[in-house]
Amino acid sequence: MNIPELELTGWRREVSTLYAAVRAVPKPERAHELWRAGRDELFRRHPQSPLPPGDPMRATGVPYWPYDPRLRFELPIVPPGEPNGLSLPTDGDGNTAMRLIGRVELPEPIGATLEVWWLRQYAGGLFLPVRDGTAGTESYGGGRYLLDTAKGADLGGDADSLVVDLNFLYHPSCRYDAQWQCPLAPPGNTISAPIRAGERL
């Protein structure tokens, strides 16, 4: 008998293990290869895969842009001017409560600011969604995620900064199956510049 809550716990455990392995690889491009292979394996075989049974991507893997070393940064978090909370609608009928903890300034070739959030759900966690100029045409219209540490998606950093590697942008599960509820990128995480890195349509 399958217990969905235990399956989801197993999924999160494997995601966390994958990201720990990624952080341990000194060469970012090699770490990205490991991440892609790990995600494809999870999507192919895990009972909590967002891919419906029989989806061709279970065999082919999820499509990505080639790794671009210009899009990896270690950036300081600039604290917000004043505390700011947000109740963010999901793509369904739910809401996700978050608290703004700061911003990161993406250098060229992107040249944009992104807000970094702390999820109030679960036990808390960093959340960095991005909706860029590819959304709706080359990537999912609701945006992609870069960090979601409540679920183990963590590229590293220290007490003052974050590793922001845009090659690790991935689609939320709701891009594949409408039964998933995914918080969408708020205005402070929506930029006009196209980011042709990470997971694509």
Query: Within a domain: residue 136?
Result: yes
The verdict on whether omega for the bond into residue 109 sits within 30 degrees of 0, i.e. cis, is yes
Residue 93: pLDDT band with limits 50, 70, 90: low
Question: If you average pLDDT over residues 39-46, what whole number do you get?
Answer: 96
Residue numbers of the domain that contains 154? 4-189
Query: Within a domain: residue 117?
Result: yes
Listed in sequence order, the residues at least 6 apart from 6 whose beta carbon sits closer than 8 Å to its beta carbon are none
DSSP letters spanning 23-91 = HH-SSHHHHHHHHHHHHHHHHHH-TT-SSPTT-THHHH---BPPP-GGGEEEEEPBPPSS--EEEEEBS
The chain-wide mean pLDDT, for the chain, equals 92
Query: Within a domain: residue 84?
Result: yes
Query: Within a domain: residue 111?
Result: yes
Query: Within a domain: residue 200?
Result: no
Q: Do 165 and 72 meet the contact criterion of CB atoms below 8 Å apart?
A: yes
Q: Do 201 and 138 meet the contact criterion of CB atoms below 8 Å apart?
A: yes
How many domains is the chain partitioned into structurally? 1
Residue 90: pLDDT band with limits 50, 70, 90: low
Given a cut of 70, whether residue 183 has pLDDT beyond it is yes
Q: How many helices (H) and strands (E) does the chain have?
A: 3, 7
pLDDT at 88: 66
Using alpha carbons, select from 93, 152, 85, 153 the residue that is nearest to residue 120.
85
Question: If you average pLDDT over residues 85-93, what whole number do you get?
Answer: 66
Query: Within a domain: residue 168?
Result: yes
Query: Within a domain: residue 137?
Result: yes
Q: Do 98 and 69 meet the contact criterion of CB atoms below 8 Å apart?
A: no
Q: pLDDT, tens digit, for every residue of 127-177?
A: 999 999 999 999 999 999 999 998 899 999 999 999 999 999 999 999 998
34 compared with 121, residue with greater pLDDT: 34
Given a cut of 80, whether residue 61 has pLDDT beyond it is yes
- The C-alpha angle 102, 144, 187, rounded to 5 degrees, equals 50
Structure tokens at 136: 């709706």
Query: Within a domain: residue 199?
Result: no
Predicted model pTM: 0.93
